[in-house]
Amino acid sequence: MRSIDLSNQHATKLVASELIVAARTGNLTIWVGAGISCSPPASLPLASQMVRDSCQAIATELSIPLRVLLAHQGDVMRLEPFLRLVEVVSSFKDVENLLNILRYGKPNQNHLALARLLSAFPGTAVISLNFDYLIEEALRDLFDIQSKVVVPAGLQEGGVFPLPAAAGKNSAGSADLISRIVKPHGTLIMGNGTCGIVATVQELGSGPSRDLQERIMNLINGRTLLVCGYSDDDLDLFPLLQTTHPRTVYWNTLSSEIPPKVNGWLLQPNTNILTTHLMGRCEHLFGVFPRRSHIPLSSDPPLKFDKFSEQWVRDIDSVAKVATIAAWLAQDRHRLMYAKGLYMRALQQEECKRDISLGRFIRYRYAELLRHQVKKKKDAFIQYILVLGLAFRLPLDLPLIFVTIRSLAASLRSMAHRSRYGLALAYSTLAMILLVFAWILVRITPDNQWKASRFHRDKGGTWLPWEVGMVILGLTQKLWWPKSAKQLLLRKALRMFELSEGSNDLYERSASIFSKARTIGMVVNLEDDPTMMRQANALLSQAKDLFILLDDVTGLQNIERLQKALINNSPDPWLSSS
């Protein structure tokens, strides 16, 4: 790997000339993240800063410590899951209000350089993970060009959204730029003082569509890839990037080291990717590209996001919703006592009585909190029964009934895991009956009810095979079976996990891969098959990468337990500890 210090102007000019050669031959793709929009006059906050300041505003509003909403290391939830959380608990409008900060940015030197490259070299493409509109604005300001971008198929059929032309500008040259700016996370719509997003928040973090994946891979495979302002920590696109095969990669970081995950991808013996590490600010690189035209950079002072986020929380105007967002964050951070108190505080608000749907939803979230506490399984069961009673009241909420029945089945499966013999069989049988009923319910619920529901992400998916596989696994562990019958049951469970392994949801996929590895480990314990042992270790490696990506500490601990069991050829650790 070659390393270049971008503060060395001579070396930087050599790199720029190499990139210009790739652009002239139509082989340059530039992958950009939020880091390119931090410098003035754009001065936009990083995703982590947006979430941290929003959490600070929520903590201040509810008079709770900020650490309740943060991880032990001070880390915050990634932006995309945070936006999904806000949309589910509150509304899509509140997501738009939060992202409204991005409309105040002005193009900086990085955006202008990208606009020049796109205009000068027809084969150049940009893949931007940013919502902001600054590359497109730079194109319009520099060249009177109205571009088009490719985004997830959210509000626009086919996923292509034409950008509005600026006042007094024409759209000459726009045909050359169609589909050359790809924004997998979506883009802002700006005009007439309003701001919106072309993408539904449900799509964020779930992975791009197959068509968009193919488009991205075609723009990277066999080409020169320049990566700037990107931190490799998103849940959906970095795994896709790892499957691509660029000819040459220039990876820019502020630090002197490339992140380990990136290093592991680029330096694999079988990749043969020529890699150059660019150390320093990307402005040093973009500043040496030839300038054919120039517009003055804006000198307006940047808007302070912490003040903006405080106003955003006040605009939600619902203590119940703000408390529920905080409770969800606290639950994810294992601050369970705080989460319980926040849910109870939300349920006591008057708006829960006025908004029946909100009250039902918060009651369901409270039951979910109890289910994930070992000593609260029975309390959770009672809460689910209460939620079912509320869901059957008019207006009938079929999606809520579905998710509650599914969670009841999961509770019974957990109770079977902690019981023996006849009781375990009874719990498992009842769980299987509920899963079948839930599967029927999801098929008969009208689509319009799903679209209007807070549980739209729970429709369909691969949850059923995984739950069935877990029930079969529990029955295999808790009851005595002849060896041949046990092998047959394990093979059936394995088949169920394979069906759920293809989920677009990374949380479901990581659970499926880990469960598959665990099942194979039980088969190895019965058959002593070295081939299956290697397969189990490979699956655990995949699951570990996903758990690291998802910041799932419990998942990593479970992998460590299972790896020790496989090395020692000992029984399944969850069987021996129950």
Chosen domain end from 222, 253, 286? 286
- pLDDT higher than threshold 60 for residue 232: yes
333 CB contacts (<8 Å, ≥6 apart)?
68, 69, 70, 71, 72
Residue 29 is predicted with a pLDDT of: 95
Residue 248 is predicted with a pLDDT of: 93
First-residue to last-residue Cα distance in the chain: 49
- pLDDT higher than threshold 80 for residue 553: no
CB contact burial 7-31 (16+ within 10 A = b; e otherwise): eeeeebeebbebbbebbeeebbbbb
User: Do residues 190 and 256 share a domain?
Assistant: yes
For residue 247, how many other CB atoms are within 10 A of its CB? 15
C-alpha–C-alpha distance, residues 153 and 412, integer Å: 38
Which tens digits make up the pLDDT trace of 74-111? 677 778 778 888 988 988 888 888 888 888 888 888 99
User: Do residues 94 and 200 share a domain?
Assistant: no
User: Do residues 200 and 270 share a domain?
Assistant: yes
**Identity of residue 40:** P
Two tokens at 374?
Answer: 């070992």
- pLDDT higher than threshold 70 for residue 453: yes
Higher pLDDT residue, 59 or 160? 59
For 241-253, what is the mean pLDDT?
91
CB of 145 within 8 A of CB of 171? yes
Could you give the count of Cα atoms lying within 13 Å of 310 in the half-sphere of its Cβ? Answer: 5
Helices (H), 221-280: 237-241, 260-266
Residue 206 lies in a domain: yes
Residue 195 is predicted with a pLDDT of: 46
Burial class (CB in 10 A: 0-12, 13-18, 19+), 480: exposed
334 CB contacts (<8 Å, ≥6 apart)?
none
**CA nearest to 323, candidates 356, 360, 370, 362:** 362
pLDDT band with cut points at 50, 70 and 90 for residue 173: very low
Residue 563 lies in a domain: yes
For 29-52, what is the mean pLDDT?
89
Tell me, what DSSP letter sits at residue 462?
Answer: T
Residue 484's domain comprises 467-578
Residue 123 is predicted with a pLDDT of: 87
User: Do residues 60 and 195 share a domain?
Assistant: no
How much is the mean pLDDT over the chain? 81
Chosen domain end from 260, 286, 312? 286
pLDDT band with cut points at 50, 70 and 90 for residue 161: very low
CB of 64 within 8 A of CB of 338? yes
Two tokens at 78?
Answer: 């990634």
Two tokens at 307?
Answer: 């003040």
Residue 96 is predicted with a pLDDT of: 81
Domain count, the chain: 3
- pLDDT higher than threshold 80 for residue 552: no
Higher pLDDT residue, 360 or 154? 360
344 CB contacts (<8 Å, ≥6 apart)?
366
Which tens digits make up the pLDDT trace of 499-541? 888 776 777 788 888 888 888 888 887 777 778 888 888 888 8
Pairing outcome for strands 224-228 and 148-150: unpaired
- pLDDT higher than threshold 90 for residue 174: no
CB of 224 within 8 A of CB of 248? yes
- Of 297-301, 470-474, 533-537, the range with the lowest mean pLDDT is 297-301
User: Do residues 242 and 306 share a domain?
Assistant: no
Residue 571 is predicted with a pLDDT of: 67
Higher pLDDT residue, 404 or 378? 404
For 221-240, what is the mean pLDDT?
85
Only one residue has tokens 């959204």, namely: 161
Residue 300 is predicted with a pLDDT of: 62
Residue 494 lies in a domain: yes
Residue 557 lies in a domain: yes
Q: Residue 17 belongs to a domain with what CATH number?
A: 3.40.50.1220
User: Do residues 50 and 37 share a domain?
Assistant: no
User: Do residues 137 and 49 share a domain?
Assistant: no
User: Do residues 66 and 119 share a domain?
Assistant: no
User: Do residues 136 and 126 share a domain?
Assistant: yes
Calculate what percentage of the chain has a pLDDT beyond 70. 84
User: Do residues 76 and 121 share a domain?
Assistant: no
Residue 183 lies in a domain: yes
Chosen domain end from 217, 252, 286? 286
Residue 324 lies in a domain: yes
3-class state of residue 193 by DSSP: coil
pLDDT band with cut points at 50, 70 and 90 for residue 166: very low
**CA nearest to 265, candidates 289, 241, 287, 281:** 241
CB of 101 within 8 A of CB of 44? yes
C-alpha–C-alpha distance, residues 493 and 263, integer Å: 36
Residue 414 lies in a domain: no
Residue 63 lies in a domain: yes
C-alpha–C-alpha distance, residues 408 and 392, integer Å: 16
Strand partners, 160: 150
Separation in Å, CA 560 to CA 473, 564, 566: 20, 6, 10
User: Do residues 220 and 326 share a domain?
Assistant: no
User: Do residues 118 and 250 share a domain?
Assistant: yes
When mean pLDDT is compared over 233-247, 261-275, 378-392, 524-538, the highest value belongs to 378-392
Calculate what percentage of the chain has a pLDDT beyond 90. 24
